[in-house]
Structure 1
Amino acid sequence: MKVYEKHITVQQEDLDAMNHVNNVRYVQWVQDIAEEHWISIADTNQQHRYLWVVLSHHIEYKGEALLNDLITLKTYVSSSEGVRSIRKVEMFNAKTEKLLVKAETNWCLINAETKRPMRIPDEIKGIFKP
């Protein structure tokens, strides 16, 4: 599996009424890193021919992140079969390395022209492997 990684510093607008990162923000970060990973490894032709849509998210919240915390996000595709792909995302406090969030998202590959689900071709499966 190819792991894609990035860092985010928690901003004021990421916080909820309890002054820690809002659960909805974590969901947004899960989607954002998935898109960034796709853009970083798919060529322009692949990006124009294929789209990904979310079928389901499962998220476990393990800890809290606070204002100015540096968060390490890691993602990878754990499996691809038929039209579906399972992507894992983990978020850690970069300073303490404590796991904050663990997510698994079920994605469906869409033909960009027809907007219909399609089997994941080997060329796409291959770009997610090391």
Structure 2
Amino acid sequence: MQTFEKNITVTADDLDQLNHVNNVRYVQWVQDIAAEHWNSKVTKHISDSYFWVLLKHTIEYKGEALLNDVLTVKTFVEKSEGVTSIRHVEIINKNTNKLLAASQTTWCLISKETKRPSRVTPEIINLFN
């Protein structure tokens, strides 16, 4: 499994009324890293042919992030079979190496032409193994 990651610095816009990162922001980061990983790997032909829709999302919150914390957001695809892929995301405080949130999402591949579910092709599977 190939891991894709990036660092994020928490800004005031990420905070809620308790002055820690709002849970909705974590969900946004999970979605953003998935899209960035996909876009970093696929060819123009693949991106012109398919898109993903979210079927199921679970997230476990394990700690809080505060203003100016540097976070590492990591993702990888666990498996792809049929029309779905299971993706994991971890959000870690870079300074303490503490896991702050862990997510598992099930995505469905959709054909842009038919707007219907499409089997995940071997070409796509190989890009993320």
CA deviation after TM superposition for structure 1 residue 114, in Å? 1.1
Equivalent-residue separation in structure 2 for 1:70 and 1:113 (angstroms): 40
Aligned residue number for residue 68 of structure 2:
68
Aligned residue number for residue 12 of structure 2:
12
CA deviation after TM superposition for structure 1 residue 118, in Å? 0.8
Match status 1:96 vs 2:121: no
Aligned residue number for residue 79 of structure 1:
79
Q: What number of residue pairs does the alignment pair up?
A: 129
Aligned residue number for residue 34 of structure 2:
34
Gaps of 5+ in 2: none
Q: TM-score, normalised by structure 1?
A: 0.98
Identity of aligned residues (%): 60
Map 1:112-127 onto structure 2 (within 5 A): 112-127=112-127
Equivalent-residue separation in structure 1 for 2:124 and 2:60 (angstroms): 28
1:78-111 Cα offsets, whole Å, 9 max, x none, are 0111001000000000000000000000000000
SS where residue 77 of structure 1 aligns?
A: strand
SS where residue 34 of structure 1 aligns?
A: helix
- CA-based RMSD of the aligned residues comes to 0.5
Which 4+ stretches in 1 moved above 6 angstroms? none
CA deviation after TM superposition for structure 1 residue 44, in Å? 1.0
Equivalent-residue separation in structure 2 for 1:44 and 1:97 (angstroms): 36
Q: Which amino acid aligns with 2:56?
A: S
SS where residue 27 of structure 1 aligns?
A: helix
Equivalent-residue separation in structure 2 for 1:76 and 1:16 (angstroms): 28
Match status 1:25 vs 2:10: no
Equivalent-residue separation in structure 2 for 1:115 and 1:97 (angstroms): 41
